[in-house]
Structure 1
């Protein structure tokens, strides 16, 4: 058994040393995984020379592959140690039911698919790397398991729910719209103290149904998540707002009909439904505090970051 006080830097290098040729194989696999998205970005941003058989693009791919390979080999020790530690974290996440190997595989695959279809694929990478403001505080503030939050959600449903026949598959979403109606019909915008970003917990916002955009978003996410809905927060310039997971385009058509025919016919009359489609093709409907109906107009449609609560 290794004692912690004996873990010197040379000792750590020896523990994490991978014998040749496995070290080169691992580095090359990582190189390929990095080269593909970098090539997509370069392909969409560099001038196409229109050489026969796309030779210019082949040369570009090989050039990127060689450059990244040289960089990774120059940093071989750090690269291999980082890979090992990352694999350990993924293994722990897989065993604990958190973010693991399956999740990273799906995220990488969906990112590649979206980058191929996006004229500015670098924006997808940037959005994933951009930090979500006050992330840990917001997660702690979404007290969806608190009995007070659950009680408020049930009250809102009993007060505002409209029973609609033939849409049992969307029952949770319809209930979520009842919660949306209760919160947005009674919400009062109150700014944070000057020069200070105050993050109110969901139970705190319940007292007066007041606060700024992040307080509203936290309460909306907490209440809808307490009844089984899937929510996410969108960070844009100077603003945070909530969105609810709808499903695919077919689901959106039915939800659009439900909103305009049964739930919010006056508020949504002759008005479009506003939503986002993520990298997996999933549709998220706007529930901002400024919206008079689910899918109301965005204050700012640009996405700088997303925080999902599933």
Structure 2
């Protein structure tokens, strides 16, 4: 119960620490909770602690550890978990295999992901989708679309997450016509529900291609009560193309919808900076100081031997 909410994860941890003899279910629950809420280091630390006991692992706890490695982009740790998976005999489990593909892709090792995918004895929709999404996020559009068509030929039905990967692949290289066809086929050919994330992919697709007016038309027709995600996506496209007119109008709209969101002011500042409009840039930054809005600092990390 506590583990379902990020704000209560420490309460879940306290309950777990007071258990005299936690079983596999309780270990899996707490490790999965830390991993899902973005605390990959804590999830891996608990997994190491779990291994000192006598309880055998299962595919759920291994998948959660791979998810933790993926969130940290910790390739070395991911490879260590992979080696443990092989030793423990879970290498042939489709669920674990899909998590391995996702981990390698998110850690930047697309070759390892492809090698493992090709070596799998069996595939399901999740493993196909993981590989398609990995290709898409690495900018390998041809590979992603070829794999998608291969997936449909073997009789597997893609889901909404699969189409997010396909639309992302189209967006990276500006395949506007093809991307729109895939978007329409979701409902027409597969009967899938179109979510706001799919609309965001289409807005990004049109925005990257410079078709800002069409992207705005898509947002206006989107059937969602809140469209801030879509407007932020379009604002990013305005930043890329230096479109001050549209960017300024969308930024003002977003300020009304989310007055405390720093990314809106950052994007607007970047638009002015790219157009050498320094007076407007200073005005925006002064405005953020007046309303006490601070940009979340970026961070980077490296793996070190211990």
Q: Report the TM-score range of the alignment, normalised by the length of the smaller protein.
A: under 0.3
TM-score normalised by the chain length of structure 1: 0.27
Q: TM-score, normalised by structure 2?
A: 0.28
Larger strand fraction of residues: 1
More helix by share: 2
Which protein shows a greater Rg?
A: 1
